[in-house]
Every structure is written in C-alpha cells, then in structure tokens.
C-alpha cells in the first residue's frame, strides 16, 4: 500500500466507544484477546479496558490520536474492532467513524 492507511493516522474510534465482546473471544476461553486487557462487563461479555471511562481510550491503543497510532493487539483484537473500520478506497465506511473523529476534532472522511 503506497499511502498510510487513514486509520493509522487517526485512532479516534479506539477512544470514543465502549468495546464489548463475547467472553469466548478471551485467550483463556480459546479466543485471542489477552485476558489482562479486558474487564468483566456481564456474565457473558467483556470489554476492552479503558473504553468505558469518562474519557475513553482503549488500553491497547498506542500512539497519539490524529497523528500516528496502532493497535497493540492488532492480530488479537476482538470482533467489534475487526468489523469497524474505514476503507474509503474500497467504499467501505462505518458511519460512526466520523462521529468518533468529530469527538477528537478530526475532519470527517468522505467517500468518493
Ligand atoms: S475507523 Fe474511522 S475513527 Fe476509527 S481509526 Fe479509522 S478513520 Fe479513525
Ligand atoms: S483493541 Fe485495538 S482496535 Fe480495538 S479498540 Fe483497542 S486499540 Fe482499538
């Protein structure tokens, strides 16, 4: 890929929304998400630590939002993170993306 993916210069959604997933995605339950980075939400769900804080920021997010970020557990990230994304080059766009970007003062993305 010639250009840097827009998400690698953003990260807003990792610091805007609660990230909840089924307990079966935990490493200890046969999934891949490291247990140490998740908090119990309900009997059957867990959430990425930090995503329900008053000023949310996932504990796995590395870098500075709006400049350069990465997911510290990219290969092991939970399903909501795999399903959420912006690929404007492919016309794939999550509407909540721009909501997250606006929370962090970032300009909206446009699908061409
Ligand atoms: S999906 Fe949207 S809000 Fe999330 S990192 Fe990518 S551009 Fe930013
Ligand atoms: S696990 Fe990774 S992709 Fe998911 S919210 Fe946290 S930093 Fe973002």
Q: How confident is the model at residue 11 (pLDDT cuts 50, 70, 90)?
A: very high
* pTM recorded for the entire structure: 0.91
Which is it for the CA torsion 100, 106, 108, 112, positive or negative? negative
The half-sphere exposure of 55 on its side-chain side, counting CA atoms within 13 A, is: 1
Q: Over the stretch 22-49, which tens digit does the pLDDT of each residue have?
A: 999 999 999 999 999 999 999 999 999 9
Determine the pLDDT at residue 1: 37
Q: How far is the CA of 37 from the centre of ligand 1 (A)?
A: 21
Buried b (16+ CB within 10 A) or exposed e, 39-73: eeeeeeebbbbbbeeeebbbbbbeeebeeebebeb
Ligand whose nearest atom lies closest to the CA of 96: 1
Pocket test for ligand 1, best of 6, 88, 110 (most atoms within 8 A of CB): 6
Distance CA 85, CA 29 (A): 26
Q: Over the stretch 44-59, which tens digit does the pLDDT of each residue have?
A: 999 999 999 999 999 9
Q: How far is the CA of 112 from the centre of ligand 2 (A)?
A: 27
Q: Whose CA is nearest to atom 1 of ligand 1?
A: 85
Q: Over the stretch 75-95, which tens digit does the pLDDT of each residue have?
A: 999 999 998 876 666 666 677
Ligand whose nearest atom lies closest to the CA of 8: 1
């Amino acid at each position: 890929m010639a250009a840097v993916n827009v998400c690698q210069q953003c990260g807003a959604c990792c610091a805007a929304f609660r990230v909840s997933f089924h307990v079966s995605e935990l490493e200890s339950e046969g999934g891949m998400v490291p247990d140490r980075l998740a908090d119990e939400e309900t009997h059957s769900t867990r959430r990425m630590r930090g995503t329900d804080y008053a000023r949310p920021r996932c504990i796995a997010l590395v870098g500075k939002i709006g400049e350069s970020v990465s997911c510290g557990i990219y290969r092991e990230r939970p399903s909501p993170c795999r399903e959420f994304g912006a690929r404007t080059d492919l016309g794939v766009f999550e509407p909540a993306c721009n909501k997250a970007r606006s929370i962090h003062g970032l300009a909206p993305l446009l699908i061409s």
